[in-house]
Structure 1
């Protein structure tokens, strides 16, 4: 079911992804881009009402838990990247953690073999959720509005319901057979046992009650009150290991973001336990030695340079992990001298065999069913958030009467060194299960500035492809002068060291370019469109949202210059950019 769901969504997105990009949404006051238009409107309303970007991010996080239940969540976790116009920064780690009773062999049988489905389809797959703790941490430390004000829109959407669009029902209909296996889940996400139809209203009374409890009591109501007890009870009843003590003991971490520079732009991205920011910066710093603009968009020369940089960064990311458990050599990986050394090892006329790069199999990676939202205001304050349940709808189980869908994030750990997770990626000991540990991630909420001014806010779902989605959007804007809409909607390619193959979306490469690269030793695999990026650029890139001297007259442009330009991925049929 999980595979058919992903395939159907890719087909749903494929037609729009192949079309020319529309003009980005322009605004002067503020911009919010999310994977669900109602959540975008919630965030824009908060900014209009005088809230700051963190207030808007918190309100959007709660709203997406209602209107985008496939990936928006209270029962999952993620990362929040914050940058204020005065230069202050913060990175909030609200990722899920392994329960206290977790062990390195919990997904293996007595003979040491990985038990299929145990890390994805059982209550053992559930990590201690971090979303509520993270949103409340951000609001308390960096927000300006009260908790009841920011939860009110989500509570109303859950209590009163919202009308389902075709993309909403596509997700719900395809997951309905899995929902049917649990009466509490079926009661919420099916209509009298049948899949929801377009135009029907999804009402989530139990989730509304949970949100009201959080509104009144904050994170304690979720982790130490009746909600936390209900999650622990549901876990125990389902054969899981999350306890009341695990819930009460969850703590947010505030970390230093990863920083690097690229062609005069400063990049602020995700640090370990995400490998995303480190990999993006390593790739960018390798690419800085090439004139990608002169090479031409998706020319054989550019693709060669980018694939080789991707190959080396994904090879290096294998040793990264939770900083509380693993020593991460981030300083070395982000050193420009190291990037120059890697660049020097790239043959300008041949593909590098991945097997020639020493190292154990790549550390595990998370699912592709994640969501990203990006927020900015006129002053240059910005927030980039990526959070997830792992699979679409996570475990596909709600916890008792809470209305909260639970994650299956434990599959992001290595079930066994050398074994593949549900997405075919191989794990290593660096990402082994341990009590209280956070699994490795590729989530890469990213903020780009130039000379202290906000230039870009970007991120995407996509599992291991998150890194290359985010990277390609940055390159498309900086090196090729695209608007944020063109940069996000452009066809993509992806290389992650192992397997030694380059994945390509439809129309990513011309037949001639592909033949040239095959002659250099590359193998390609055609894939349906992937990712759902959400991005914002500013007038740092020019009046049209791109470099004016490179913008072509037939490309879509906003009708007048704006401070902010927002775009939701055209692969995402229900998201939107909302500005004012």
Structure 2
């Protein structure tokens, strides 16, 4: 079905006055990193080096992903983890794709009302601070399943760099030091965490200083030697359970012993001839990215232009409708019948387009479902190897440094992922998401996520690997990077660096990064009825790879580098490394 002539004329004529010349906006982006044999893009430069070293030694992209995951747990402790969980999207050289869910689970003793007081009101901080906020970690189990099923190297080989950095220490650069400074107050509240991450005078480690983590080195060494049983059935689990019991938590040994990774079929959809391969429930990411792309597919975004009021209008409206579905209908597939087929249907996207007024902003409260009553400290990395195996990994502690607690002797920061559940329908979580019963707390349930590790293919070959941290904004960050490459012709670095917008249904606000829109565009959007909130800080740290050239134009002309990597300029400690 085609858009009506009225809609196309209305959108184009009323809004093309605000086309923004992209060259002027994105000229400051550095050139993408280039490589012919492999590419690793992470939020911490030492972890990127670890990944490239694995590829150079003959490991594949999955091997590198496992090594990077463990390395980030040491050198990027505000988000890298073995005390949290995440997702891995794998697209193999033979065209097969799969998805590993090693997200945290609710403890067996968890209850629907565990964060509410006697009057049924949320207790401030209960789902964010301390051991009651901790979900059962999944990263160790997830990395081992990935290595065993799809890797080629030994666990000892892949964990050795992380163990060395924990045992011998690593020197902090500016980005590392900034993250420690930002988390110092939180870390100081837990004696075990403070003993690791703060100096004796209580101050955080600074630029040029070395941080060693001997307890974490011992835990990693035990996992390297004995496998996941060392984490889930041995002394590490015992120490975490003991600390939880002593400090108000509900974790039990059975929570660790019963943890299991799920291997699921990825969500897939098509957009302008490209195939999107992304995260299924319990992540909302892939479904909602595809739902938004399906709505946008019949709008002339390349004609309207990046950053124009026309493009922003249709993107925000697509986001508005999709986030209603995200927040009200999706949840853990073991507990909820997710309407994935409906949400991915092109006919459903047409129904949404038909409801979008070309001249006016929608009203979120009018979309309230019947019966309706994640942090910047996630991290994403993208990897591709010489054979074209592509891996996208997003994992998290949720808030910065998670729950801010470490069980004595383990060196492991624990997550506060329980905040991603619906504490109470209609009450916002850490990221302002207002969610429903589908995401209510239940024992062994996985909270709904926005993490969106994504691989894009074209004509059966890898085209793009992309993802980002950013809580509820992960979806729109990843979406906008894809649109910037495919519709707006940006190179991979420009696409990731470009200013972002975000709308998540409630609150009914369009969030705009600094310098994201021109004043003329802002006035036009305000005149259409949008409430704009101009942020004083940027968000997200996307990590992407483009195959065959730095941009779509270079790919189509031929002659570009095989792999082109980009780490978000917002990521002070990150690096894209190719070889």
TM value normalised by structure 1 = 0.93
Query: Using a 3 Å threshold, how does the CA distance of structure 1 residues 497 and 348 change in structure 2: closer, same or farther?
Result: same
Match for residue 359 of structure 2 among 342, 345, 349 = 349
Q: How far does residue 85 in structure 1 lie from its aligned partner after superposition? A: 1.6
SS across alignment from 2:394: strand
Match for residue 195 of structure 1 among 204, 207, 221 = 204
* Alignment of 1:232 onto 2:238: no
Aligned to 1:563: 562
Aligned partners of 2:165, 2:294: CA distance in 1, in Å?
A: 44
Aligned to 1:405: 413
Aligned partners of 2:77, 2:555: CA distance in 1, in Å?
A: 42
Aligned partners of 2:181, 2:326: CA distance in 1, in Å?
A: 37
Is the contact between residue 554 and residue 560 of structure 2 (CA under 8 Å) also seen in structure 1?
Answer: no
Is the contact between residue 26 and residue 494 of structure 2 (CA under 8 Å) also seen in structure 1?
Answer: no
**Which blocks of at least 5 consecutive residues in structure 2 are unaligned?**
1-24
Aligned to 1:243: 252
Is the contact between residue 34 and residue 40 of structure 1 (CA under 8 Å) also seen in structure 2?
Answer: yes
Match for residue 394 of structure 2 among 386, 399, 404 = 386
Is the contact between residue 384 and residue 390 of structure 2 (CA under 8 Å) also seen in structure 1?
Answer: yes
Is the contact between residue 18 and residue 507 of structure 1 (CA under 8 Å) also seen in structure 2?
Answer: no
Is the contact between residue 179 and residue 397 of structure 1 (CA under 8 Å) also seen in structure 2?
Answer: yes
Q: How far does residue 187 in structure 1 lie from its aligned partner after superposition? A: 1.1
Aligned partners of 1:549, 1:514: CA distance in 2, in Å?
A: 34
Aligned partners of 1:452, 1:18: CA distance in 2, in Å?
A: 31
Query: Using a 3 Å threshold, how does the CA distance of structure 1 residues 520 and 145 change in structure 2: closer, same or farther?
Result: same
Match for residue 552 of structure 2 among 546, 550, 554 = 546
Match for residue 350 of structure 2 among 333, 340, 348 = 340
* Alignment of 1:457 onto 2:465: yes
Aligned partners of 1:362, 1:438: CA distance in 2, in Å?
A: 20
Deviations 1:357-413 (A, max 9, x none): 2416989xx233200000012322100000000001001111111000000111111
Q: How far does residue 354 in structure 1 lie from its aligned partner after superposition? A: 1.3
SS across alignment from 1:411: helix
Higher mean alpha-carbon deviation, 348-357 vs 21-30, is at 348-357
SS across alignment from 1:547: helix
Aligned to 2:22: none
Aligned partners of 2:122, 2:499: CA distance in 1, in Å?
A: 36
Q: How far does residue 18 in structure 1 lie from its aligned partner after superposition? A: 8.3
Aligned to 2:120: 112
Aligned to 1:330: 340
Higher mean alpha-carbon deviation, 565-574 vs 173-182, is at 173-182
Query: Using a 3 Å threshold, how does the CA distance of structure 1 residues 356 and 237 change in structure 2: closer, same or farther?
Result: same
SS across alignment from 1:187: helix
Aligned to 1:554: none
Query: Using a 3 Å threshold, how does the CA distance of structure 1 residues 62 and 361 change in structure 2: closer, same or farther?
Result: farther
Deviations 1:449-484 (A, max 9, x none): 001110000000011110100000000000111111
Q: How far does residue 421 in structure 1 lie from its aligned partner after superposition? A: 1.8
Deviations 1:291-320 (A, max 9, x none): 111111111111111111111111111210
Aligned partners of 1:426, 1:294: CA distance in 2, in Å?
A: 34
Query: Using a 3 Å threshold, how does the CA distance of structure 1 residues 399 and 233 change in structure 2: closer, same or farther?
Result: same
SS across alignment from 2:291: helix
* Alignment of 1:438 onto 2:446: yes
Q: How far does residue 352 in structure 1 lie from its aligned partner after superposition? A: 1.2
Aligned partners of 2:301, 2:534: CA distance in 1, in Å?
A: 24
Match for residue 141 of structure 1 among 136, 139, 149 = 149
Aligned partners of 2:27, 2:570: CA distance in 1, in Å?
A: 10
Higher mean alpha-carbon deviation, 240-249 vs 59-68, is at 240-249
Aligned partners of 1:181, 1:461: CA distance in 2, in Å?
A: 25
**Which blocks of at least 5 consecutive residues in structure 1 are unaligned?**
1-16, 552-557
Aligned to 2:15: none
Higher mean alpha-carbon deviation, 566-575 vs 519-528, is at 519-528
Aligned partners of 2:120, 2:26: CA distance in 1, in Å?
A: 45
SS across alignment from 2:552: coil
Match for residue 175 of structure 1 among 174, 183, 192 = 183
Aligned partners of 2:135, 2:391: CA distance in 1, in Å?
A: 25
Matches within 5 A, 1:254-265: 254-265=263-274
SS across alignment from 1:118: coil
Aligned partners of 1:75, 1:503: CA distance in 2, in Å?
A: 31
The two structures, once aligned, show a CA RMSD in angstroms of 1.7
Deviations 1:497-537 (A, max 9, x none): 11111000112111111111111111100112100000000
Higher mean alpha-carbon deviation, 521-530 vs 64-73, is at 521-530
Aligned partners of 1:549, 1:198: CA distance in 2, in Å?
A: 40
TM value normalised by structure 2 = 0.93
Aligned partners of 2:40, 2:257: CA distance in 1, in Å?
A: 32
Aligned to 2:501: 493
Aligned to 2:578: 579
Higher mean alpha-carbon deviation, 194-203 vs 421-430, is at 421-430
Aligned partners of 2:556, 2:64: CA distance in 1, in Å?
A: 34
Q: How far does residue 424 in structure 1 lie from its aligned partner after superposition? A: 2.7
Aligned partners of 2:56, 2:125: CA distance in 1, in Å?
A: 46
Aligned partners of 2:332, 2:150: CA distance in 1, in Å?
A: 25
Aligned partners of 1:152, 1:362: CA distance in 2, in Å?
A: 49
Deviations 1:138-169 (A, max 9, x none): 00111100000000000001000000112211
Aligned partners of 1:362, 1:537: CA distance in 2, in Å?
A: 41
Is the contact between residue 40 and residue 577 of structure 2 (CA under 8 Å) also seen in structure 1?
Answer: yes
Aligned partners of 1:295, 1:163: CA distance in 2, in Å?
A: 47
SS across alignment from 2:128: helix
SS across alignment from 1:386: strand
SS across alignment from 2:382: strand
Aligned to 1:298: 307
